[in-house]
């Protein structure tokens, strides 16, 4: 018997479409490589020609302009800000003329008189501002006076049927000095040093308190008592606390300005030691005071 042999399968032939794809891709890669190599060779040849035959024009080439612009933009973000140095303190000018001891003493007396007049003016200005319902202790005195003049000029008049309440008495910022036995007592109005009900020194109060520093320095190592007083308005305990806190604020300022070689004490008397009877607004203002007693 004869056996019929199975026909062998023919090997598959590659698709013509797939072959054309490979050919196209290879051609593109070859063209790109050729273009890159050609561009590089052309750039190198151009650079060599530029070195051998430089251009006589002073204009910067376009490629160099683009490169410089890129470098400038990149460096703008890392430039440190300029350092601003604080202004140097202005030295105190020395007097152009030599002074003898009598001349120096005379000028010092005149300076203390001017300081007292300035304190009086500050107190009167603060009194007028309080009557107008405004306070500007941090502004220059000249500007405060100009503002007060403008406010008075624009203030509407009050008719005759209005309130006849008298205006508060003016405040004198000049400290009062009196000698009692071996103790010097200097009195300051509290209304000049503190706002109503406040225990914090007003701006400008240091100018008034500085007038007593020379008196304290005259008695080295002396005992300095700062005593606070109020009027009879409010409760007794509130007045005690208020007078003590104000005396403590004044003591703190003076001790920091002068030094700790003195014996400091702060006392609050409240309304227990009035200077005058509390039967009028003027007398109550006199009772609101700070006394500084200096005992050698």
* 126-135 pLDDT tens trace: 667 666 666 6
Tell me if 183 sits within 8 A of 146, measured CB to CB.
no
- Region 83-110: what's the mean pLDDT? 73
Q: Sheet harboring 183-189: ordered strands across?
A: 176-180, 183-189, 289-295, 223-229, 263-270
Q: Please give the residue that has the higher pLDDT: either 3 or 203.
A: 203
Query: CA angle at residue 221 from 226 to 185, to 5 degrees?
Result: 35
- Region 56-61: what's the mean pLDDT? 59
- Residue 271 pLDDT class (50, 70, 90 cuts): very high
What φ, ψ does residue 194 adopt, rounded to 5°?
Answer: -130, 150
User: What mean pLDDT, rounded, does the chain reach?
Assistant: 77
- Region 73-102: what's the mean pLDDT? 65
- Residue 167 pLDDT class (50, 70, 90 cuts): low
- Residue 138 pLDDT class (50, 70, 90 cuts): low
Structure pTM?
A: 0.51
pLDDT of residue 2: 45
Taking CA atoms, 135 is separated from 119, 126, 175, 190, 205, in Å, by: 16, 7, 21, 15, 13
pLDDT of residue 1: 46
Class of domain 169-295 as given by CATH: alpha beta
Among 128-132, 248-252, 254-258, 262-266, the range scoring the smallest mean pLDDT is 128-132
Q: What is the radius of gyration, based on Cα positions, of the chain?
A: 46
């Amino acid at each position: 018997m004869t056996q019929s042999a199975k026909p062998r399968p023919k090997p598959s032939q590659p698709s013509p479409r797939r072959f054309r794809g490979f050919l196209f891709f290879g051609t593109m890669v070859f063209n790109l490589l050729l273009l890159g190599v050609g561009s590089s060779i052309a750039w190198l040849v151009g650079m060599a020609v530029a070195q051998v035959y430089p251009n006589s024009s002073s204009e910067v080439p376009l490629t160099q302009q683009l490169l410089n612009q890129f470098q400038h933009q990149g460096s703008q973000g890392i430039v440190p800000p300029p350092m601003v140095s604080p202004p140097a303190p202005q030295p105190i000018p020395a007097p152009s003329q030599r002074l003898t001891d009598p001349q120096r003493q005379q000028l010092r007396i005149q300076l203390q008189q001017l300081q007292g007049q300035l304190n009086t003016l500050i107190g009167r200005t603060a009194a007028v501002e309080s009557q107008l319902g405004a306070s500007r202790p941090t502004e220059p005195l000249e500007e405060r006076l100009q503002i007060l003049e403008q406010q008075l000029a624009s203030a509407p008049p009050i008719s005759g049927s209005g309130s006849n309440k008298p205006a508060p008495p003016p405040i004198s910022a000049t400290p009062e000095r009196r000698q009692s036995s071996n103790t010097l007592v200097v009195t300051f109005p509290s209304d000049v040093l503190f706002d109503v009900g406040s225990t914090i020194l007003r701006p400008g109060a240091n100018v008034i308190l500085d007038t007593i520093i020379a008196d304290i320095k005259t008695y080295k190592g002396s005992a300095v008592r700062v005593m606070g007083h109020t009027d009879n308005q409010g409760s007794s305990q509130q007045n005690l606390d208020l007078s003590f806190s104000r005396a403590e604020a004044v003591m703190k300022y003076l001790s920091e300005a002068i030094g700790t070689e003195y014996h400091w004490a702060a006392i609050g008397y409240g309304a227990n030691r009035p200077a005058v009877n509390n039967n009028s607004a003027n007398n109550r203002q006199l009772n609101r005071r700070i006394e500084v007693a200096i005992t050698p």
